[in-house]
Chains A and B, each alone.
Chain A
Amino acid sequence: MLEYFLPRASSFAGSIDHLFDIITYLVMFWFVLVLGFFFYVVFRFRHKPGQKAEYITGETHKQKMAIEIPHYLILVCDLVILGYTFVVWHEVKIDIPPHDEEVRVIAQQWAWTFEHAGADGILDTEDDIVTINELHLKKDAQYTYHLSSLDVMHSFSIPVFRLKQDAVPGRVISGHFKPIMSGEWDVQCAEMCGYGHGFMPARVFIKSAEEHDAWVAENTPDHLKKDTAYALTDSETKEAPNNG
């Protein structure tokens, strides 16, 4: 149902939407049933002259079962939701797959700083591309992000990714996403962070590999470009032990 409002731009957006739909079906079934029954009861047992109410205690076995049995069914629904929730949560927040690209996200009052790894694909090297309020991503690349905050709590939210993670000062929280759609969307701060909280918008730009590489080249200073060409083979050999 959520894709009606906004596209599914990350690999796990579909899982979250699917969970949302399952909950919607189960909950709406019970909600309509209970509310319908409620209105039926209220209408059927409205006061009519000369008609006396019944004396029902709700303490007999049969009457208790009338309450209990629907709750076993609700419990079954709960378990279905619970099981699927665990699967989705594991996919989004626990199981961090090996990454193709890394990006560092630093929140502060009231701006986002994004450190892109640059052409060499490694953070904290000379060719990193640092942008304010603009996150540039390569479509179909598996990303790991490292989120931190310089001052207060913020929350890194990209609705089209169905991704949200609080930024906690003093911690670096890592997570993952994989953009699967080109486009340009909002990044919001989702945790109250002071006066400018409503006005720290960022945008995420997702481009195909070629376009993204062009953006990287455009933002890499010329003197680094040559080095990068050499460094690329260099870093690839270095990268393997690093990852292990």
Chain B
Amino acid sequence: MADTATAAVAHDEHHEHAESFWSKYIFSTDHKIIGFQYLFTGMAMGLIGGFFSYVFRMQLAFPGSSVPFFGIVSPAAYNSLVTNHGTIMIFWVAMPVLIAALGNFLIPLMIGCDDMVFPKINRLSYQIFLISAIVLIASFFVPQGGFGGAWTAYPPLSAKSEFNGTPFGAPMWLIAVTLEIVAFLLGGINFITTTMNARAKGMKLYDIPMVVWMIVIASILFMASVGPLVAGAVMLLFDQTLGTGFFDPAMGGDPVLWQHLFWFFGHPEVYVVLLPAMGVVAEIICTFSRKKLFGYKLILYSSIGLGILSFFVWAHHQFISGVDPRATYLFTTTTLLISIPVAIMLFAFIGTLWGGSIRFTTAMLFALSFIAEFLIGGVTGIWLGSSGTDIYLHDTYFVLAHFHYTFVPIAIIGTFSALYYWFPKMFGRKLNEFWGKIHFWGTIIPFNGIFLPLFILGAAGQHRRIAGFTAYPDLYTENFQDLRVFATGSLIVLILFQIPFFVNFIVSLKRGQKSGPNPWKANTLEWVAPSPPPHGNFGDDLPEVYRGPYEFSVEGRDEDYWPQNVPNEPEPSK
């Protein structure tokens, strides 16, 4: 009996010990831990995607020569590298970091509740996401290597291994993408339900911080658009593995059907990642310009309008793909119209800065550069949205440079500004500002150095996904090759300047300046909780909300901020 009791105690202790590591960090249902899991997985995948870009940019700059840390880049390897670079950066970096990591970490804190409403679904979401990442990485090491049919995976190339040469890589790629989508559907359910049902007492819909709104709208967009893609992915998987012919014209199928299903998802997907980044920027520019967000409802309704409009633009990816040429009249119109809501949001951000008192912290520098760089990405879309010029520019480096000027501000600049801003809340210490600014300039300048030359190459008629331009006399000229070398050199500089960031990140975890609960004097509820917030976030007393999230510099108050949870005082007599 005594033995049993001791054993039980010992077991309990053991169990407790096991819980304190496994259930705290690996099988946790705490939204913050799940957010970190997504964040670190996303950052690790970002390193892989970044390494891929280094390898293929080296091949383009010095075709045929051996790339340090990789070797000779065969055409098969090149195709696989560009395909998986795109896939990883969108599905395994932009989405997990911007939506899943920020959504999980911020939503319960910002709306003032203790956790997500479905914590176990949340845990399942990350586990499926992790499996999807493992399947994708495993697909690089199977016989014949990873899938190389571009991230858009157009059949028949993607459907038959005699065309793509990757009998294992292609289905694994598709399974990985599908699993990733399942993970995000589970996460999205949580974000929407939690925001709608678990808000702090007193928080009305218009008191919700903009970044939370943006993540919710993005989740709705994702859920509404992803259905056709999943259906298409299952059909494509059947074509690959069971020999069906959904996309095979010889068997009565239609390869262009996949393009419709893919882009019906693919275009809203751009806004799925754009909106959270816009939300991050909105939070940061308000805090560091000490200003109320200019036109909260205008931004909110613009983003909803943007989301709805984004369902009617997909065929602008297919102007020359063999769809009825008359259809382009409609899709050009909707595509050019989408410039309006995006421009409204950017103008509202500039309106927020107007009359402010702007402090250039690293987070703010990244947020401001988001506005400037995304503007380039936005306006260059006009050349491509116009079907007339798209005939020429389609699938050139002009397209490539354009969408990197949207995705890099979203996924890289947006993420960095969020990290510099919320790092004190996540880990209780600030990132070093001096090294942060070195990291900022070392990221922004080479980023433009990579992609501005690519606009020129694209305008000169250089097409994408070509493993080396040696076969094309018009493109393999000395001037063009210089531009390619310049872009590659800029990329290497950009990658090297990420080293200070990672060192800063790791050192600041232990030695950074302690931040206290509200280092930036911001208003939203996450700054009420201790830094880092404990399990359950706010302790026993959940905060109550008395006003909107952006009451900065209110006249008649001594302090220039007014947190959402501070009760109204009697009006000062003056």
Give the chain A neighbours of B498 by CB distance below 8 A: none
Known: A46-B358, A63-B351. A23 touches B382 (CB 8 A): yes
**Contact yes or no, B156 A153, CB < 8 A:** yes
**Contact yes or no, B76 A195, CB < 8 A:** yes
Does A199 belong to the interface (CB within 8 Å)? yes
**Contact yes or no, B388 A46, CB < 8 A:** no
Does A171 belong to the interface (CB within 8 Å)? yes
Does B305 belong to the interface (CB within 8 Å)? no
Known: A45-B353, A188-B463. A173 touches B322 (CB 8 A): yes
From the candidates B250, B332, B346, B471, name the one contacting A199 in the complex (CB within 8 A): B471
**Contact yes or no, A197 B472, CB < 8 A:** no
Does A168 belong to the interface (CB within 8 Å)? yes
**Contact yes or no, B391 A93, CB < 8 A:** yes
From the candidates A26, A56, A165, A201, name the one contacting B294 in the complex (CB within 8 A): A56
Give the chain B neighbours of A84 by CB distance below 8 A: 388
Does A166 belong to the interface (CB within 8 Å)? yes
Distance between Cα atoms of A6 and B33 in the complex (Å): 55
**Contact yes or no, A153 B157, CB < 8 A:** yes
**Contact yes or no, A34 B552, CB < 8 A:** no
Using a CB-CB cutoff of 8 Å, which residues 303-355 of chain B contact chain A? 320-322, 325-326, 328-329, 332-333, 336-337, 339-340, 343-344, 346-348, 350-355
Give the chain A neighbours of B386 by CB distance below 8 A: 19, 23, 81-82, 85
**Contact yes or no, B320 A164, CB < 8 A:** yes
Q: Which residue of B lies closest to A95 (CB)?
A: B325
From the candidates B255, B368, B554, name the one contacting A55 in the complex (CB within 8 A): B554
Q: Which residue of B lies closest to A163 (CB)?
A: B391
From the candidates B163, B336, B350, B456, name the one contacting A38 in the complex (CB within 8 A): B350
Tell me which of A93, A173, A189, A197 has the highest count of chain B C-beta atoms within 10 A of its own C-beta.
A197
**Contact yes or no, A198 B466, CB < 8 A:** yes
* 24 A-B residue pairs with CB within 8 Å: A1-B459, A26-B382, A34-B375, A39-B372, A42-B368, A51-B357, A53-B553, A54-B291, A54-B356, A56-B351, A66-B351, A70-B343, A85-B386, A87-B388, A88-B388, A89-B325, A153-B157, A160-B461, A164-B320, A166-B321, A186-B472, A192-B152, A194-B163, A201-B472
* B514 CB, min distance to chain A CBs, angstroms: 23
Known: A52-B560, A89-B388. A58 touches B395 (CB 8 A): no
Q: Which residue of B lies closest to A39 (CB)?
A: B372
**Contact yes or no, B395 A155, CB < 8 A:** yes
**Contact yes or no, B357 A45, CB < 8 A:** yes
* B5 CB, min distance to chain A CBs, angstroms: 65
* A24 CB, min distance to chain B CBs, angstroms: 8
Known: A42-B353, A153-B255. A162 touches B392 (CB 8 A): yes
Q: Which residue of A lies closest to B336 (CB)?
A: A78
Give the chain A neighbours of B292 by CB distance below 8 A: 55-58
Known: A74-B340, A164-B395. A53 touches B472 (CB 8 A): no
Further pairs besides A56-B355, A78-B339: 5, Cβ < 8 Å:
A19-B386, A41-B350, A89-B328, A89-B332, A199-B75
* The 10 A-B residue pairs with the shortest CB-CB distance in the complex, in nearest-first order: A170-B249, A159-B461, A88-B388, A58-B295, A58-B294, A54-B355, A198-B467, A5-B460, A198-B466, A192-B150
* B301 CB, min distance to chain A CBs, angstroms: 12
Using a CB-CB cutoff of 8 Å, which residues 456-495 of chain B contact chain A? 456, 459-461, 463-468, 471-475
**Contact yes or no, A6 B382, CB < 8 A:** no
Give the chain A neighbours of B295 by CB distance below 8 A: 57-59, 63-64, 67
Q: Chain B: how many interface residues by the 8 Å CB criterion?
A: 97
Q: Which residue of A lies closest to B475 (CB)?
A: A186
* B23 CB, min distance to chain A CBs, angstroms: 45
Give the chain B neighbours of A38 by CB distance below 8 A: 350, 353, 371-372, 375
Distance between Cα atoms of A20 and B333 in the complex (Å): 17
Q: Which residue of A lies closest to B468 (CB)?
A: A198
Give the chain A neighbours of B154 by CB distance below 8 A: 152-153, 191-192
**Contact yes or no, B343 A74, CB < 8 A:** yes
Using a CB-CB cutoff of 8 Å, which residues 15-73 of chain A contact chain B? 15-16, 19-20, 23-24, 26-27, 30-31, 34-35, 37-39, 41-42, 45-48, 51-59, 63-64, 66-67, 70-71
**Contact yes or no, A82 B332, CB < 8 A:** yes
**Contact yes or no, A89 B356, CB < 8 A:** no
**Contact yes or no, B392 A164, CB < 8 A:** yes
* B467 CB, min distance to chain A CBs, angstroms: 4
Give the chain B neighbours of A189 by CB distance below 8 A: 463
Q: Which residue of A lies closest to B550 (CB)?
A: A57
From the candidates B297, B347, B383, name the one contacting A20 in the complex (CB within 8 A): B383
**Contact yes or no, A92 B391, CB < 8 A:** yes
* B494 CB, min distance to chain A CBs, angstroms: 22
Give the chain A neighbours of B353 by CB distance below 8 A: 38, 41-42, 45
Does B223 belong to the interface (CB within 8 Å)? no
Does A111 belong to the interface (CB within 8 Å)? no
Does A240 belong to the interface (CB within 8 Å)? no
Does A190 belong to the interface (CB within 8 Å)? yes
Does B78 belong to the interface (CB within 8 Å)? yes
Does A121 belong to the interface (CB within 8 Å)? no
* B220 CB, min distance to chain A CBs, angstroms: 25
Give the chain B neighbours of A151 by CB distance below 8 A: 156, 163
Does A230 belong to the interface (CB within 8 Å)? no
Tell me which of B320, B353, B360, B552 has the highest count of chain A C-beta atoms within 10 A of its own C-beta.
B320
